[in-house]
Amino acid sequence: MSTAYDADQVAKLPDERIISLTPDVWTQPFWDAAAHHRLVVPRCTACGTFRLPPSAFCWKCRAQEIEWVEHDGRGAVYSFTIVWHPLLPDVADSVPYVPAVVELPNTNACRLVGAMVDTRLSDMRIGLNVELVWRDVEGGVAVPTWRPAEGE
Amino acid sequence: MTLQDKAAVVGVGSTPYYKRGRSLPQTPFELAGKAVLAAVEDAGLTIDDVDGLALYSMGLGGDTSLFAQVLGIPEVRFTATLTGGGGGAAGSVGLAAAAISSGMAECVVSLMTLQQAASRFGASYAPRGKPGAQYSAPPSPEGNFIQPAGLMGPGQMFAVLTQRHFHLYGTKREHLAEVAISTRENAIKRETSIMQNPLTLDDYFNARLIAEPLCLYDFCLECDGAVAVVTTTAERAKDLRHPPAYVRASAHGGNGRWGQAIVWMGMPDEEYASSGHRPVAKRMYEMAGLGPSDVDVALLYDHFSPMVLMQLEDYGFCGIGESGPFVESGAIRWPNGSLPVNTHGGNLSEAYIIGMTHVREAVEQIRGTAVNQVEGCEVALATGGPASIPVSGLLLTKETG
């Protein structure tokens, strides 16, 4: 049995009051770039392996040094959920929202998670091509969200 | 050298199971102490015999120093906590068996205590900071890559894994419903269960969606209570009150890149839509010299119904991706299915004490005293997790190997 939606029902965004970033020295550059609406993914300079979230060691070769590689923010939905029940009062007015795990091409399958925008619920599917839309939130930071790519 | 058959579970005890917050004004430590005393009594032992504690889930069960002080344990010779969360439930008994088989201790208690009056696990990964709010995990640098998308609770996160399983294998909500309904059928036969009304397919499909594809009945209960078990040497177990439930094997851990699992979503593609238990199952069966066809009853950690399906696959009861049709065939029903699952009513319908009820049921099945007894039960499997590493498994047997 599939769930039927009103054809026009569109995903909302979770209320920004839930967003609270606590970067460390390894993740800070990611968020600094995000604030300027740039997606950067750290790549190990020793073996070329990308890693997300940014972390102190390369899981493949244990080296530490990285370079930040610019990414165009296009990818495909690897999986997702449609959240109907607000876990906190803060998001009571922002359901349904749709967290999506998106695989980034050319990054040895790194995944980046963000909520969907401009998306009809009935269009959500694994494999959907998406593009990144930066969401500016309080405090001068931005977090990734996704919308269906043109042609989808 | 392995711990095979060197230890046995000899006592189980618990408080009543309460809906969230209803155990007040008892303190969490009081609940824990009652369960420990009941388990020791059930074994025919006293606190004077206890010399170790093997805990899990951030020591939620209780603190050893306080037990020792308040209950008057004569001498503590072993105390350790399996890292991680609920994934350590079954493994905490393995930890007890490891302590016993190495000679460090002789009589070890494992337990879990839960009182969700102040905090709700359902929002474990929600941000702190709201007045009065208490959650179990503050935002972390890694969590920052998940939580701004609105993923704040384990149920939402496991829904993402489930969606992928649906996509890859054609698994359907009907399959989740079969887990929920069969578990409820088992629960309503037990007076200790929180849920006492049957669940129909209509009820299931009329329930509100929480995080698709999961609805209300795919989620475990929110409970208070405590459950404790006592493990001792196989030698000593022979002379105690109940028939021993031998620890044939136990394993915990997981593939390294399973890692923080739902809290990072970067697990390798080949095990993303899984329970993370495959390597644990393999090691556990190898240690036991047993395989899935030897298991008479499976007590599978069921915080969310789809994770029962994925464990059925990862423990080899059916092929990868085949759990939907497997449960649809009636295989997990008690008493007539080929593999009765969660005969006690599970986390979904009996009580959620972070998996310790599964260990208790495994012991009762081996003793032959379970309410929904599997006839001729010789081998019982209990699991902890899916969760971040570790997940764990435990095989209890009526006879030594």
CA-to-CA distance for A20 and B38, rounded, in angstroms?
A: 44
Q: Do A18 and B265 touch (CB under 8 A)?
A: no
- In the block, tokens 């344990």 appear at B73
Cβ atoms of B273 and B161 closer than 8 Å = yes
Q: Do A99 and B156 touch (CB under 8 A)?
A: yes
Considering only CB atoms, A1 lies closest to which of B160, B173, B266, namely B173
- Give the pLDDT of residue B122: 75
Residue range B85-103: mean pLDDT, rounded? 97
Task: Give the residue, B58 or B93, on which the prediction is more confident.
Answer: B93
Considering only CB atoms, B129 lies closest to which of A1, A20, A87, namely A20
Q: B39 phi and psi, to 5 degrees?
A: -70, -40
Asked whether the predicted pLDDT for residue B10 surpasses 70, the reply is yes
Cβ atoms of B283 and B358 closer than 8 Å = no
Our CA-based measurement puts residue A30 at a distance from the nearest CA of chain B, in whole angstroms, of 10
Residue A57 to residues B139, B166, B234, Cα–Cα distance (Å): 21, 34, 44
Q: Which of A10-19, B302-311, B317-326, B332-341 has the lowest mean pLDDT?
A: A10-19
Helices (H) and strands (E) in chain B, counts: 12, 12
A88 touches chain B (CB under 8 A): yes
Residue range B75-104: mean pLDDT, rounded? 97
- Provide the number of CB pairs (under 8 Å) joining chain A to chain B: 132
Single-letter amino acid, residue B368: G
B154-169 vs B305-314: helix crossing angle, rounded to 10: 50
What is the reported pTM? 0.97
CA-to-CA distance for A67 and A46, rounded, in angstroms?
A: 10
- Give the pLDDT of residue A90: 85
The band of B132, judged by pLDDT with boundaries at 50, 70 and 90, is very low
Asked whether the predicted pLDDT for residue A2 surpasses 70, the reply is no
- Give per-residue pLDDT as tens, B223-267: 999 999 999 999 999 999 999 999 999 999 999 999 999 999 999
CA-to-CA distance for B226 and B10, rounded, in angstroms?
A: 17
Asked whether the predicted pLDDT for residue B131 surpasses 80, the reply is no
- Give per-residue pLDDT as tens, A91-140: 999 999 999 999 999 999 999 999 999 999 999 999 999 999 999 998 89
Our CA-based measurement puts residue A151 at a distance from the nearest CA of chain B, in whole angstroms, of 22
Q: Is B372 helix (H, G, I), strand (E, B) or coil?
A: coil
The band of A89, judged by pLDDT with boundaries at 50, 70 and 90, is confident
What is the 8-class DSSP label of residue B208? P
Strand locations in chain A (E): 39-44, 66-71, 74-80, 99-103, 111-116, 129-137, 141-148
- Give the pLDDT of residue B61: 75
Cβ atoms of B158 and A83 closer than 8 Å = no
CA-to-CA distance for A39 and B263, rounded, in angstroms?
A: 21
Closest CA to B31 of B23, B43, B22: B23
Q: Do A83 and B211 touch (CB under 8 A)?
A: yes
Q: Name the percent of chain B lying above pLDDT 90.
A: 91
B204 is catalytic: no
- Give the pLDDT of residue B137: 61
Residue B124, both tokens: 């474990």
Q: Do A1 and B264 touch (CB under 8 A)?
A: no
Q: Which residues contact B1 (CB under 8 A, 6 or more apart)?
A: none
Residue B324, both tokens: 């939907």
Q: Is B107 helix (H, G, I), strand (E, B) or coil?
A: strand
- Give per-residue pLDDT as tens, B285-306: 999 999 999 999 999 999 999 9
Asked whether the predicted pLDDT for residue B93 surpasses 60, the reply is yes
B352 is catalytic: yes
Residue range B383-396: mean pLDDT, rounded? 97
Q: Which residues from chain B sit within 8 angstroms of residue A25, using beta carbons? A: none
The band of A7, judged by pLDDT with boundaries at 50, 70 and 90, is confident
What is the 8-class DSSP label of residue B347? I
User: Considering chain B, what is the average pLDDT of its residues?
Assistant: 95
Q: Which residues from chain B sit within 8 angstroms of residue A84, using beta carbons? A: 208-212
Considering only CB atoms, A79 lies closest to which of B144, B147, B164, namely B164
Cβ atoms of B6 and B100 closer than 8 Å = yes
Residue range A142-147: mean pLDDT, rounded? 98
Considering only CB atoms, A126 lies closest to which of B129, B138, B167, namely B167
- In the block, tokens 């996704």 appear at A146
- Give per-residue pLDDT as tens, B16-42: 999 999 999 999 999 999 999 999 999
- Give the pLDDT of residue A20: 85
B305-314 vs B173-187: helix crossing angle, rounded to 10: 100
CA-to-CA distance for B142 and A52, rounded, in angstroms?
A: 9
Q: State the complex-level ipTM.
A: 0.97
B72 touches chain A (CB under 8 A): no
Our CA-based measurement puts residue A114 at a distance from the nearest CA of chain B, in whole angstroms, of 5
- Give the pLDDT of residue B135: 52
Cβ atoms of B151 and A99 closer than 8 Å = yes
Our CA-based measurement puts residue A142 at a distance from the nearest CA of chain B, in whole angstroms, of 10
Asked whether the predicted pLDDT for residue A1 surpasses 60, the reply is no
Residue A82, both tokens: 């449609």
Q: Is B26 helix (H, G, I), strand (E, B) or coil?
A: coil
